[in-house]
Amino acid sequence: MKALLLIDIQNDFLPGGALAVSEGDQVVPIANRLMELFPLVVATQDWHPGDHRSFASQHDGREVGEIIVLDGLEQVLWPDHCVQLSQGANLAKELNLNGVDHVIQKGTDVHIDSYSGFFDNDHRKSTGLEQLLRGHEVREVQLVGLATDYCVKFSALDAVALGFKTSVCLEGIRGVELNAGDCEKAIQEMQSAGVEIIQSELQ
């Protein structure tokens, strides 16, 4: 069985959102079209408590984009985003929610970030996504969503490491690009790890 993973297609990552990804809205129609081709569709949702330690606002004198060490792990400091129950945390309203079978929330632990849809950044705890996929006998996953250089990348790397045949649809992803070249680098990294980068199955 094949599953489509919709990574963090949430208001805060769309233009106008708290952590807006350039052209982030353009992944929505791609996601909506791809959904029809997969028997199982799982959306991940970044779902932070209001005082999440990845927020620059929680560190005196620190600014968005700075990197700190948090519990021994490098952590980029982000603007407050995807706060639980906020409008910004909702899945994009243009996303066809009827086509989404399951939503997996992540980043809920105040102390640690979770870029991947599978595990927190230290691989301490599972989100339940792997178990969900295995329960449906999924062997293959395709990813689209946001952001190429963070949550899409780490989700795809975990998927391939867990043994899923993994592809990422290039038209269906956009990145933060904190530094120029980050998205290109992320794509190379995914490819080197065995993730198939595909143009699209839509044509």
What residues make contact with ligand VGL under the rule CB under 6 A?
8, 13, 46, 78, 146-147, 150-151
Q: Is 153 a catalytic residue?
A: no
CA distance 189 to 1: 26
Residue 146 binds which entry of Zn ion, ligand VGL, none, with Cβ cut-offs from 5 to 8 Å by kind?
Answer: ligand VGL
β-strand pairing of 73-76 with 102-106: unpaired
Tokens at 201, concatenated: 């199955």
Q: Looking at 106, 149, 153, 183, which residue is catalytic?
A: 106
User: Could you tell me the sign of the dihedral formed by the alpha carbons of 33, 94, 169, 48, in that order?
Assistant: negative
Q: Is 158 a catalytic residue?
A: no
* Least distance (Å) between residue 89 CB and Zn ion: 10
For residue 203, the SS3 value is coil
Q: Is 125 a catalytic residue?
A: no
Q: Give 107 or 145: the residue with its C-beta nearer to Zn ion.
A: 107
46 binds Zn ion (CB under 5 A): yes
* Least distance (Å) between residue 18 CB and Zn ion: 10
| Cβ neighbour number for residue 130 with a 10 Å cutoff | 19
String of contacts with Zn ion for each residue 67-106, x by CB under 5 A: ----------------------------------------
Q: Locate tokens 């632990």: which residue? A: 109
β-strand pairing of 2-7 with 140-146: parallel
| Catalytic residue set | 8, 106, 151
